[in-house]
Amino acid sequence: MRMRLAVHFLQPVHADMRVNLCAGQALVAQHLLHNAQVRACIQHMRRERVDHDRTHQDMPPQVTTAEDNRNWTVNTAHQFHDNMEPGQRARFDALADTVREAFLNGDLNPYLVDLALQVPDFYTLAIDPEDSWTQVSIERTAGYFSRIKSIAEQYGGHMIVVSIPEGPYVNAHALRNMTRVGYEMPEWLLTTDGADDALARASELVAAPFFEVTRAFRAHKDDPELYFELDGHPTPKGNRLFADAFKPMLKEVIGNAAPRRRQ
């Protein structure tokens, strides 16, 4: 099956969502971060007073060389390093030598480390669906879902929401690696359903089917090869696991959306 890919950047909450049009029938909204929209929305509101006076280099053009990207990453990392507040500098200095070197050499996403130094509890935000901040974020996420669903329906498509689990929620090795980067990573993240619950509620608000592969990933929580080291993104092996887990659901969605032949 051929998939067409477009990336839509959601502002102002600094999270992005991937939209796939499958065989012209099913519009699949996939969160690139497990519950990223909810967590990023809360983080944005809590950091508004900081963001207005923070400076950083603009993202490089979308068509660049490897050298361009490395230079941008190195420059951004050093700019973050030079502007660290005392508390952030102390947390940075406490990181392992390998992590600090990877950051300054451009081998690690500078924003990943910068966020860890500013908001070490980032991954535990908005886990409780009953929390007032979480409820606000669920409503905002539902608003974005509503927009996507409306566009899908204009073209005869159907929207579904798929929660793609980020490493610390499903993989013990990924959880420990993100701890090395500076995040606070309690072990209960590997068992909570809070992230999926928040997305499911947002989906329910717009009557969109919701799917998760969290349990499939947690069945392999001790596999060290599913996520990149010092990063929450899946490796090719992790992406294969996602594809295998989601394929039966996608077949069902496409089957239900396919036009019925006249008897």
Q: Coil, helix or strand for 7?
A: strand
pLDDT (tens digit, 9 = 90+) per residue, 3-24?
222 223 222 233 333 333 333 3
Question: What per-residue confidence (pLDDT) applies to 55?
Answer: 47
pTM above 0.85, yes or no: no
CA separation, residue 222 to residues 52, 225, 245, 257 (Å): 41, 9, 17, 37
Burial of 203 (0-12, 13-18, 19+ CB in 10 A): buried
Q: What are phi and psi of 235, to 5 degrees?
A: -80, 175
Question: What per-residue confidence (pLDDT) applies to 57?
Answer: 55
pLDDT (tens digit, 9 = 90+) per residue, 203-244?
999 999 999 999 999 999 999 999 999 988 899 999 999 999
Integer Cα distance of 141 and 151 in angstroms: 16
Residues of the chain with pLDDT under 50: 1-55, 260-263
Beta bridge partners of 10: 15
The one-letter amino acid at 55: T
Q: Are 145 and 29 in contact (CB under 8 A)?
A: yes
Residue with tokens 């992406």: 239
Taken in order of first residue, the domains within the chain and their CATH numbers are 3-41+127-257 (3.40.50)
